[in-house]
């Protein structure tokens, strides 16, 4: 196992609202039906974390390898991990079932 020099960064918790605040200091994004994930690439390694900080790198090696192949020395991605159907629509129930398997990758 390689050394773990890359650490989880606790993300902000988004909140739902009927009307988001406005102004140049606010950022908004659509909520997808997925699992919030953080992917960090630094110091020659990639690590994947769930919103709670639980590490998923070893269970999702193909995603880690794809991020490692990106032409960037470092990156931090914070977003939704989605499993899309044939129409490109997120399928949360399929994602849950897949992520419960031993090797969901």
Residue 90: other Cβ atoms inside 10 A = 15
Grouped pLDDT means (10 residues each) for the chain, 105 residues: 63 73 77 88 91 91 94 91 92 91 74
Extents of the domains making up the chain: 35-99
What is the architecture, at CATH level 2, of domain 35-99? 2-Layer Sandwich (3.30)
What pLDDT does residue 5 have?
A: 63
What pLDDT does residue 56 have?
A: 93
**Which residues carry out catalysis?**
31
Collapsing DSSP to helix, strand or coil, 93 comes out as helix
What pLDDT does residue 92 have?
A: 94
Q: What is the pTM of this model?
A: 0.73
CB-CB contact of 2 with 45 (8 Å) = yes
């Amino acid at each position: 196992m390689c050394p773990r020099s890359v650490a989880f960064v606790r993300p902000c918790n988004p909140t739902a609202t009927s009307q988001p605040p406005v102004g140049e200091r606010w950022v908004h994004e659509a909520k997808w039906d997925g699992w919030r994930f953080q992917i960090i690439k630094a110091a020659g390694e990639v690590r994947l974390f769930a919103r709670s900080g639980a590490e998923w790198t070893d269970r999702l090696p193909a995603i880690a390898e794809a991020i490692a192949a990106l032409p960037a020395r470092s990156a931090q991605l914070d977003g939704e991990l989605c499993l899309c159907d044939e129409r490109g629509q997120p399928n949360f129930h399929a994602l849950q079932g897949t992520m419960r398997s031993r090797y969901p990758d």
